[in-house]
Structure 1
Amino acid sequence: MIGGWLGLLLASAFFLAVPAAAQDVVLLDGKPIISEADLADWSGAQGCYGEGALTSRRAAFMRLTEAALADAAMRSYGGPDITDADVAKDADRIDKETQAPDILACIKSSLGPEYRRVFVRPSYTESRLRLFLMKDAKVQAGERKKVTDAAAQAKGKGGLEAAAKALGLHYSSATFSLTPSTSGFRPDLPPAEYQAEFIKKNLEPLQAGAFSPEPIETDYTFQTVRLLRHDEKGWLFETAVARKLGQEEWFKSLPRFKLEIRDSDLHDWVLSIKGNPRLSAVDIQTGASR
């Protein structure tokens, strides 16, 4: 009995001896990712933006947790492993490109040696995630395949419109011209410069009735085009477009992470949040220090 009480007292003494700032608040798959100090540091630095800045613990929690989830998700998928060198390079970029040097100096002064980890890294991680989702062939393989399948099906019976509908793609047709329209503004058509570039790159190489040999990729879409006719009016074509897989769909496709929150207010608040793409990828657990 004495041993049991002694063990309890020693354990209590240990937790009391740990400074509050050093206590871990959030763990991801058992690994500490956010401490009390991180929350306080981030909130304090946000005060540099002045009146109206988001300085709450909840805002700090969400910003740092979302970045940590993005980092872990990319690594688990075989994506980029963000290094200290990457973060240092982005810090240099911020120094060169900032249009608010006074605010940046305040943030650096507030965070001190934690500036890169608490301020730069989360921002850089978000940028890498956006680029990764847009450009990674493995992530976007399914959406790209829908476009190639639509072209293949359209070469049989039913045409491109029917194939697009069957695959959940957007179908449309348009006439692009190398000469600007003289009939006034056409909100249904892109600017003349875009039309000319699209024609030269994607339509001029085609014979009437032919499809683009490969899906045409933009930052946000894949599409296949079929040239229907080329005459004095321009290039008439039809197209089937697939939107690239977005953040919400991608996170839902991943194995779930375990998010442990050792703060009752933050834990209960997070449970009430609906529609956050990152939180859809986690199982939220009750932390030991609630």
Structure 2
Amino acid sequence: MKITILGSLGNIGKPLTKKLIASGNQITVISSNADRTEAIETLGAKAAIGSVSDAAFLKSTFAETDAIFALTPPNMGGSNIIENTTDAGKAIATAIKEAGIKRVVMLSSIGADLPNGTGPITGLHNIEKIYEILENVSVTFLRAGFFYTNLYNDVPMIKGAGIIGSNYAAETKIPFVHPENIATAAAEELQKTTSGKNIRYIVSDVRTPNEVAKVLGLAIDKPELPWVEFTDEQALGGMKQAGLPDEIAGLYAEMGAGLRSGKIQEDFLTNKISVDGKTKLEDFAKEFAERF
């Protein structure tokens, strides 16, 4: 198959490219950074340098492509993020339609079933709705859990204050996922014959923040590491103090509030959807300790 991957060689794009090439597929990787060309070609893929918001560029790149892995970069533009994310989704959808693509796997998220109150996930909800009305296109919405790798953002807090925390409670049930497991699921879906519009959740483990603090604490030789629940105001202020732009900090605080209420993870947990990812929290803790 000829498959085009959006998202460059990030935590998902790189392992996905490797898996698909190993299966004998011809891969094109779209990146906005020309400096990534050599790395992409070294893997055996073709590099296409341009913006995911440029429908004409995307249409040209999608020519003769059998399937697309559609990943929209997070925090697009630093401001007007939801609007920018949604606009990128519109550009990708236009290119899919005009290029005649028949198979799409879109990276989405838990909580994308909700129209608002989910922070940056709102943009993914909007894109799902755009893709839902694509005619004669088979689409799988790959709804991922909360990335383990987001926990690396807490390293300064752990080192500086001896705590880990956010604006949701220690006993909140959180579906987590490892990017490698997302890549595995995406590779399976891209090579699968299917029709219509489908949803697949990809989750590696369901754990509480209390368990996260305990498992990571043991891995980094800080067994007493506590999880601290912040207020929304404290979380927002902390992110701003750490240098995040106001809009991004506000979106992340909103997402934390959505996790605290349980609405973001409700569809996954209520429907008792299977946990497909193989990387459990204890496995990720070893990676976390190596980078700590």
Q: TM-score range by the shorter chain?
A: under 0.3
Indicate the structure (1 or 2) with the bigger Cα radius of gyration. Answer: 1
TM-score, normalised with respect to structure 2: 0.22
Higher relative helix content: 1
TM-score, normalised with respect to structure 1: 0.22
